[in-house]
Chains A and B, each alone.
Chain A
Amino acid sequence: MGSKMYMKPIIKKQLPGNMNKFGAVYHRNYRDEIDGVKINELIDRFNSPLFVFSEKTIRTTYRNIYREFSNQYPKVQFSWSYKTNYLDAVCSIFHQEGQFAEVVSEFEYQKARRLGVPGNKIIYNGPFKPEASLEKAFKEGAIVNLDHFDEIIKAENVAKKMGKRVNIGIRLNMDTGIYPQWSRFGFNLDNSSAYDAVKRINMSEWLNLSGLHAHIGTFILDYKAYSIQVKKMIDFMKKIENEFQISIEFLDFGGGFPSKNKLKGTYLPPEIAVPDVKEYIETISNALLSNLAPNEYPTVYMETGRAMIDEAGFLITTIEGIKRLPDGTKSYIIDAGINILYTSYWYNYKVEVDRPTQGAYENAIVYGPLCMNIDVILENAFLPPLSKGNRLILSPMGAYNVTQWMQFIQFRPAVVMIMEDGKVEEIRRAEKLEDITNLETVPEKLKHFIL
């Protein structure tokens, strides 16, 4: 990035809304490359906007997390949360690294199988699993976590029809001091509905309870909640193991670790507000080791999604227009809208400019290209004066965007991956009109019109 650029001294009036006692941490940095590949080069080849993933970051992040965990608990298996990002290339990296697949729908199950994940390396979660897909999952030996009583009965019927006794897990929910409490998934531990579920499963000759699953929430900033979750699940495991003479082989603690993204409404920057992933892992493994004897260690499944991928993703956008609003606020219009930035609802992304820019920083609003009033990407970006054609690099971008994005008004952009050797591979091409229209059929009667 070379030497620091000279900036003319400026006197700027401080506005009350922008001050805080810790001082603001603004990202004055610019970025002209990702993993050594120039931004301009990327855009020249693949056009703007462009999602960029870094293979190196994905692998390093996983390896660091896995190393931390495996050095503190003997049996941990990470399973890649497909809903976080199910691009084939991304999933493949995780599977190469040894992760299972965690799916929450029939679609994801099929996608994982198509990619070559064996059935018995898939964890099948979610509140709705169609009967046919449940049967397939049982046949292929998937790890199935059931969500409610009707699903227990459904699973029992499927197993009975197949004539095969099947292993299942159940999802639990509980009070761990986290708000909101995700009580809509699974069986409640605190009001004994979980206990009733175990009792019901134990009565069945077709079902064998082999695991407990819980996922207490998402973007959890207080890692101590996991200690409560682990302790409660172990206590429950011991209780039912004794009472029903069963053996619980796995505990699935779900995910929910935050990434270094700035949640809207938080005061401190993520570097300070978000605890290190190490803290979460240490808390979980401490709770496991101190509550279990060595011969009791169950396999622990982790479904960490966001913390594993978010920082490996970037979105390169281009400024297409500059406007000053009637109230004097500076605004920019970029070529990426909220249709492909689902997470902009709750994150204030980190913004980097593709070149050093002179001039006074000021608050600006960044709008997307949609013809919608709500298409606001950043409400309060602190930016130097930029001109048309400048690129803004938004991050972290790896989690949820490329699964929750929608095709609205525009084509969804290409996704590329910068490989470890510096090569750039297109892992999803930009959409074309046929991609969307191929799905449609026009009834004969409507085929012709003259205007």
Chain B
Amino acid sequence: MEKNFLSLLNNLLYSYSTLLFIRSKSTGFVLLLITCLNLNLAVTGILSWAIAIFFAHLISIKKEDKIHIIYTYNALIVGFSIGFLFKITFLSILLTIGTSILTVLISYTLFSLLSKTIRLPVLNSPFFIVSTIIYLASTRYSSLFVDSFYLHENLDIIQIPIFIQGLLRSLGILIFMPYDISGILILIALLLFSRISFFLTISSYYLGVTILALLKGSFVNAYLDFSAFNFILIGIALGGVFLIPSIKSYLIAFTGVFVSVFFMDAISVVWSAFGIPVFTLPFNIVVLLFVFVLINIGYPNINNSIKDSPEESLSNFLNFTKRFNYSIPTPWLPFLGQWSVYQSFSGQWTHQGIWQYAYDFVIKDENGLTYQNNGLKLEDYYCFGKPIFAPISGTIVDASDMLKDNPIGEIDKKNNWGNYIIIYSSFGYYVEISHLQFKSLKVNIGDYVVAGAIIANCGNSGYSPEPHVHIQIQYHPQLGSETFLFYFNHCLNEKRQLVINKLLEKDMIVQPITFSKKAAKIFTFILDDNFQYKLFINEKNFSDIILTVKMSIEGSYYLTILNTEDRLYFGIENNTFIFYSFEGRKDSLLKYLFAALPKFPLASDIDLSWEEILPDNLIKHLNGFQFFYKSFNHNAYTVIGNYKLTNENEICGTISCSNHTIYTKVILNDFKGFELIEIFQLNQTISLRRINNSEK
């Protein structure tokens, strides 16, 4: 019962804060308080919200998170729009019941039409539709206007210059409180909760108003235009909510504000004929228009995971895109051991034009030669006949090994590609591998291969002066299709550093990681696995903690400290153990584990080292202004950790912060999990030592 009440209260506060595109109980509470300055408004709003929830419950709409907040917050503003015009009477309550139910129905319909099919947000279009309907309808309901619209002039401050008043009232109108005081309070709430939204509010408002004034010839008129609040909504929605905050998103937001002026005036010409305001129609049209176009042209910085505030969305996006780049194919190297890049992207000989994105590899000995003896026979070449492995998991769509290998000194100019294999990845691209050895195919067309499976041998067929292997990525299955950019996954350079999302230069010595069955076993965590640790700070024993493996509702696994709500999400992807994200208390010990091993290739190559970008707020807490700055420069304040497998089971890390360096150490247990997690920073050593070191 208590829980139900709490979740209802939370929903109410979130519904309030959603009016400003944020999700914060405190901001919601501030807005709730502001609306209480006009009790009539507050009561109607909450009534409308409550009816919506009750009705949704009655017809058993499932408590899907997204649709839930859409109808509750729309119902809230629909309630405001009624409370704004009419005093609470039996009739206005009747009206509220009707509009609230309509809001739920329209919200659900629009959600199904827009969000489920074409990934567009519903915004507050249900509010606009319902309010327009009810305002139009109410012109016929003469009995409603017994008590007239009443003013709250006590909430205005006369002395404020008009250009500030305009901003404050436009803000206030977002909650149907177009007064100076409410505007000031909302502005303060915005400034405290999100600098990005604050910035967008101010800049979009004045930009929109300026354009309006220039077109209409009067600034005073523009400041007094109530529908100018649309500029603010467009600014925040495009600049910080549906797009990732960045210079580009700000420019797009300003463009949106600019074009919205025409919509606003065009719509008001029609709407004013009926004596009703344009509500949020310009905002809805402009935002949907931009988002629809940007999604369809594949704009890279669409915010697919809208978080509680623009800052959090930005942080989440950067953590995700910088740590995991899923947009560019990352096949594995198609061979084993050390090979040398013979020709790189845009290589001097044949990797030109539409075929620029391709690599050739050969094997070289320590003298830099690709062959032994005198190199006159194919067998002299180190790479000739060496096995070639599937670089991705996928289906063999085309393959041939009918061409004889050219003797040294001859080239087959008729069949450029030689013997080849084309593999289709379910991610939508094709990998093509060329110059394979005559009669060396180990797979057939139609076979499904997993990454790392042997598929053929390296040969010297086709346009190949000496044995080598050629690899490229294309988006069409035909031999010789246009090539596209890709990076290799699990690729080590000569210093045994992982080369992540980087071009391989000519003559670079590269080698794939070798995965270890043992490492895979150590990182196979099963639900309810328990690990007990003793916590030491500067060698002083503090308390015991128990780490437990749990699964969240949507199926992601996380580690948690028993009896806390901290969550450290993890998973294994492409033979790499990954800590995805952390949720919980600021001083949680799990953060140290995250920082000490954010990613771990399941390998046992000693001296293997790699770099990893650490999520914001893991090591260093950025303040609001730093976040605001980060929206202009996405690389600012990035914390990078360097990790090295110093022993088969020991990983040492170095994290450079602006003013100090943090050293980390993780020792793996022989069978499962972590034996020791240690962090050294600023004269402090924090270590977690496993108590029971035998397997259960």
Contacts and interface: CB of A to CB of B under 8 A. Distances in A.
Interface of A: 60, 63-64, 67-75, 120, 164-165, 167, 208, 210, 247, 249, 282, 285, 289-290, 293-299
B454 A289 contact: yes
Contacts of B372: 64
Contact of A74 (B386, B514, B520, B694): B514
Nearest to A73: B336
Contact of A290 (B363, B454, B604): B454
B390 to A, nearest CB: 8
Contact of A63 (B366, B386, B389, B518): B366
Contacts of A247: 517-518, 521
Given A167-B670, A290-B454, A294-B451, A70 B336 contact: yes
Contacts of A249: 516-518
B230 to A, nearest CB: 56
A249 B453 CA distance: 19
Given A165-B695, A247-B517, A293 B337 contact: no
Contacts of A296: 517
Contacts of A294: 389, 450-453
The 7 closest A-B pairs by CB, nearest first: A294-B452, A70-B337, A71-B337, A74-B514, A75-B514, A289-B454, A249-B518
Given A249-B517, A249-B518, A71 B453 contact: no
A284 to B, nearest CB: 12
Interface string B585-618: 0000000000000000000100000000000000
A298 B517 contact: yes
Contact of A289 (B385, B387, B693): B387
B500 to A, nearest CB: 20
Given A67-B365, A165-B695, 9 more contacts: A67-B363, A70-B336, A70-B337, A71-B336, A74-B512, A289-B387, A295-B517, A295-B520, A299-B516
A293 B514 contact: no
- Tell me the dominant secondary structure on chain B's binding face: loop
Given A67-B382, A294-B452, A74 B515 contact: yes
Given A64-B365, A247-B521, A297-B515, A165 B386 contact: no
B338 interface: yes
A163 to B, nearest CB: 9
Contacts of B387: 71-72, 285, 289
Contacts of A298: 517
A167 B366 CA distance: 37
B533 interface: no
A75 B695 CA distance: 26
Contact of B336 (A74, A210, A290, A299): A74
Interface string B330-342: 0000011111000
Interface string B502-542: 00000000001011111011000000000000000000000
27 contacts: A60-B366, A67-B338, A67-B365, A70-B338, A71-B336, A71-B337, A71-B338, A71-B383, A72-B336, A72-B337, A72-B386, A72-B387, A74-B336, A74-B512, A74-B515, A75-B514, A165-B695, A249-B516, A249-B518, A285-B387, A293-B450, A294-B389, A294-B450, A294-B452, A295-B517, A297-B515, A299-B518
A208 B518 CA distance: 13
Contacts of B521: 247
B265 interface: no
A94 B336 CA distance: 22
B335 A71 contact: yes
B494 interface: no
B410 interface: no
Interface in B329-369: 335-339, 363, 365-366
A379 B323 CA distance: 71
A167 B647 CA distance: 17
Nearest to B521: A247
Contact of A71 (B363, B450, B514, B518): B363
Contacts, number: 82
A64 B382 CA distance: 10
B648 interface: yes
Contacts of A282: 385
Nearest to A69: B337
B696 to A, nearest CB: 11
A289 B389 CA distance: 10
Given A247-B521, A297-B517, A71 B386 contact: yes
Interface residues of B, number: 37
Contacts of B383: 71
Contacts of B385: 282
Interface string B657-696: 0000000000000110000000000000000000001110
Contacts of B518: 210, 247, 249, 299
Interface string B386-426: 11010000000000000000000000000000000000000
B455 to A, nearest CB: 10
Interface in B368-386: 372, 382-383, 385-386
Most buried by A among B339, B383, B670: B670
A301 B452 CA distance: 20
A74 B520 CA distance: 15
Given A63-B365, A71-B337, A247-B521, A293 B695 contact: no
A155 to B, nearest CB: 16
Contacts of B452: 74, 294-295
Nearest to A70: B337
A334 to B, nearest CB: 34
A293 B335 CA distance: 15
Given A70-B336, A75-B516, A120-B648, A165 B694 contact: yes
Contacts of B512: 74
Contacts of A295: 450, 452, 515, 517, 520
B371 to A, nearest CB: 12
A261 to B, nearest CB: 21
A73 B335 CA distance: 9
A71 B335 CA distance: 7
Nearest to A294: B452
A63 B382 CA distance: 12
A285 B385 CA distance: 12
A295 B521 CA distance: 12
Nearest to B605: A75
A17 to B, nearest CB: 35
A120 B604 CA distance: 13
A74 B670 CA distance: 22
A210 B671 CA distance: 11
B509 to A, nearest CB: 12
Nearest to A59: B366
A326 to B, nearest CB: 48
Contacts of B450: 293-295
Nearest to B385: A282
A5 B463 CA distance: 48
A60 B369 CA distance: 13
B396 to A, nearest CB: 16
A383 B335 CA distance: 49
A276 to B, nearest CB: 10
A73 B383 CA distance: 14
Nearest to A289: B454
Contacts of B516: 75, 249, 299
A282 B387 CA distance: 10
A263 B163 CA distance: 103
Contact of B382 (A71, A75, A167, A290): A71
B629 to A, nearest CB: 45
